[in-house]
Structure 1
């Protein structure tokens, strides 16, 4: 679990940097493609393709294409129809999708009821923190975000269930994950990016380097390694811990307003969901 907690803090800080220095200045599709290229360059020198049969290599590349590539494509399209607050609100259903996908596709028998309850509590806790009034035209954006949630959830579960050997072996094949992600995000950039909104100064490039090498490269590797070491419910509930962590980072570093009552109540519910999930061994 400590790996997932560490990545949660890493991603919380990274989302804060995006909001403060890149959002509205650098096109999202361009930024994501640059991040994927940098992450791929990080792992290419370590790539040992002979460590995996071809079928698993294709599966790992497909996981990267879905978990990051298609997910970001749907996510950024949703911003055309939703406010930032609505996007954040609609991402809270990911724990349910993680549990559902693992139950339906990979389990021979139903998952414990306790795990479903933990996933439901994770959604409730995040909703307490993030719920705001919705616009009149939110439905299409809501569906896009649910597609993104499904892609991110599916990528995590498929990686968890794909036999890849020990952690060292996974490091040596993880370039395939970003090959898939780079291909999809590259096509999305060519199709949808605003070429006039490219990174233009040193600070933006430094932040993109951090996001590509640390948040994306090391972050996704660590998250997926951690996914293999926890049970499905722990993985599901940790997907929503980014919400209170991100709010706290924004308050500490940028002084943004926080509804402390809602944050405390929602965080308590989220913590109870993680505790409930942790009462069952890894599976």
Structure 2
């Protein structure tokens, strides 16, 4: 759990950096550059051991395209429509998707996650209600939810893939996953580069280096390593949200974003209530006497 908490604390800085320091750069190119830097950071470690067999390697490529590639395409695009503190707030629903996907084979467990999802929509409505440009805010909310779903599915699939026989190490797995993510982002990045170009200044290059090597490279390795160590999906779901309060505070205070504190607080309560509802232990059925 310590690894998950450390990772969430580092990730908290990413919201404000992306929303305020990388504004004006094409989101797909940013996603590609960030993941390419992560891949380069892990390549030396991947060369130390034997390459995985073709079947596990293909699974890891596809998994990386989902958990990292598609997730980042949606996530970074959302900053064009939402302030960074709202992006941080709306990532709170990731545990709901973890619970939904983990309980998909047990329909009796689905009512709570579904109700939690409705509370998430209520929270978004509280933020977006009567706000200028509300249509763009709803689009941003939908993009964040798509990103959350990709990340939730990726975590659960990663645990399954890594627990299967095959002997793939964490750093090898992450390298193959980053390769899959880079391949998934490449066509979108090429299109974005042709349309918008890519000319970051020195400060933006430093932010990209930090996001690629530290926030994505190091932190995803720490996160997935910690995810393998926890016994219950519920613990993994709760730790997803450790980054949110700090991320919102940094965006509002350090990056001087503005927000209605009452509406933001009410939205946070609605979203948090959904997560608590999703994670609260279900009552055990009474035993026959």
TM-score range (shorter-chain normalised) is 0.7 to 0.9
Q: CA deviation at 1:241?
A: 3.5
The residue number in structure 2 matching 1:227 is 227
- 2:112–2:278 contact (8 Å) kept in structure 1: no
Q: CA deviation at 1:157?
A: 1.1
The residue number in structure 2 matching 1:98 is 98
TM-score (norm 1): 0.76
Q: Does 1:50 align with 2:81?
A: no
TM-score (norm 2): 0.74
The residue number in structure 2 matching 1:32 is 31
Q: Distance in 2 between matches of 1:167 and 1:55?
A: 13
The residue number in structure 2 matching 1:253 is 254
Q: Residue 198 of structure 1: SS of its match in structure 2?
A: coil
5+ long unaligned stretches in structure 2: 283-289
The residue number in structure 2 matching 1:149 is 148
RMSD: 4.1
Q: CA deviation at 1:3?
A: 1.7
Q: CA deviation at 1:246?
A: 0.8
Q: Distance in 2 between matches of 1:7 and 1:236?
A: 14
5+ long unaligned stretches in structure 1: none
Relative to structure 1, is the Cα distance of residues 144 and 209 closer, same or farther in structure 2, using a 3 angstrom cutoff?
Answer: closer
Relative to structure 1, is the Cα distance of residues 31 and 78 closer, same or farther in structure 2, using a 3 angstrom cutoff?
Answer: closer
The residue number in structure 1 matching 2:200 is 199
Q: Distance in 2 between matches of 1:258 and 1:142?
A: 16
- 1:77–1:144 contact (8 Å) kept in structure 2: yes
Q: Residues 59-138 of structure 1: matches in 2 within 5 Å?
A: 59-75=59-75, 82-84=81-83, 91-104=91-104, 116=112, 120=116, 127=123, 131-133=127-129, 137=135
Q: CA deviation at 1:136?
A: 5.8
In the comparison of the two structures, how many residue pairs are matched? 273
